[in-house]
Amino acid sequence: MRKRIALGVEYDGSRYHGWQTQQDADSIQERLEWALAQVADHQVETVCAGRTDRGVHATQQVVHFDTTAHRSLRGWQLGTIQLLPDDITVIWAQEVSADFHARYSARSRHYRYVILNRLTRPGLQNGRVTWWYHELDAHKMHQAAQQLLGEHDFTSFRGKDCQAHSPV
């Protein structure tokens, strides 16, 4: 019997060319699908809530896949983790209904951008923060950020083959 499994995936995207499988480039999706296929003993295709670009990290990236393999949820999680590189992990696994879709069932998405504002460049946080050594105007930044809150029509930013149901 076919069932759908959702996973919570976390990764450091520093050495990957983004989420999506690409020819001749290492990706998170390729690594995850390979590991899942070993656990499932059949080819696995994943769908994620939102693709990330090259070098982008994720916490709680929701992914789903369909399988006929019988494994416990803990087996899916721990079996997959053992086969993944150290910079990719599965935080949780959950059986979901057949109509669940990682991308279209998502209720929200959260993005975090960190600015390190000091004279010296980062040491431990290198590659994980934006470094800016000039003085920041927090009031102006706050005013500008208010324009990002709420619902917006992103029609002008959609590609011609965009699959999203709505530009809002």
Phi/psi region, residue 78 (left: phi>0; alpha: psi -120 to 50; beta: rest), is alpha
Rounded to 5°, angle at Cα 41 from 38 and 44: 75
Give the length of the chain. Answer: 168
Task: Single out the residue of 73, 19, 74 nearest to residue 47, CA to CA.
Answer: 19
CA distance 49 to 47: 7
SS3 (DSSP) at 149: coil
Task: Select which of 12, 26, 41, 53 is catalytic.
Answer: 53
Q: List Cα–Cα distances, 12 to 34, 78, 98, in angstroms.
A: 18, 19, 30
Q: Give CA torsion, residues 52, 57, 58, 59, to 10 deg.
A: -170
**Cβ contact 153:168 at 8 Å:** yes
Decide if 12 is catalytic: no
Active site residues: 53
